[in-house]
Amino acid sequence: PLPWPAAIVWLNGEIKAGDTLLRPRPKMLADGDYSAGWIVGAYLAEGHLPKDKRHAVHFSIHRKEIDELSGVINEFAEEHRLINRQGETPQARTMVLGRNGGSVEVSHFMIRQMIEEWVGGDRATTKYLKKMPDALEFARGMWEGWIWGDGHESVVTRDGREYRVASGTTSSDLLAQ
């Protein structure tokens, strides 16, 4: 490890406005399972935390995606035995908006807390991971949830090998991670 403060060596020119000098790496921590990771990934792509609802997590999606996302959230709540104040398993609320728009919202403090634990930033362009998972199933779920929402996956075959290509985010911090 380098002593702190570490010496910085510039190889190609001068520092100019807009240059990134240091991008901190999130701490690697174990946490969660596949479905928890998938919800965090879907949140990275499509979610926001309403400021006027303490426990709510909201997703803005295409109407064709409503059933899949609400199903994953409801299954997660049942698997993890989440209970609301009425002693019931919370259910994702869904709404069709206009011709193609849709929304899914779930209100439970543990789901909101999970999102706040993993994701920072308050807008699509400022989201970032506060930590990186080291649990393989959580990481796989997070990746697949993110690609489900913001990505495109296609299989390209070359030299007898399959390559999966994925893309899409508006957050430069998230992309750098």
pLDDT, tens digit, 9 for 90 and up, residues 22-72: 544 444 344 688 999 999 999 999 999 998 988 899 999 988 999 999 999
Of 40-49, 77-86, 124-133, 153-162, the one with minimum mean pLDDT is 153-162
**Among 156, 150, 103, 143, which residue's Cα sits nearest to residue 124?**
150
In whole angstroms, what is the distance from residue 50 CA to residue 134 CA?
A: 29
In whole angstroms, what is the distance from residue 47 CA to residue 154 CA?
A: 24
| Contact present, 90 and 105 (Cβ < 8 Å) | no
- pLDDT per position as a tens digit, 78-99: 888 887 777 778 888 898 888 8
Q: For 46, which DSSP code?
A: H
Structure tokens at 151: 């990505």
Q: Give the chain's mean pLDDT.
A: 77
In whole angstroms, what is the distance from residue 103 CA to residue 42 CA?
A: 13
**Among 69, 116, 125, 122, which residue's Cα sits nearest to residue 93?**
69
| Contact present, 106 and 93 (Cβ < 8 Å) | yes
Of 11-25, 66-80, 87-101, 135-149, the one with minimum mean pLDDT is 11-25
Q: How far is CA 71 from CA 1, 42, 141, in A?
A: 46, 13, 15
Cα angle value 102/103/108 (rounded, 5°): 165
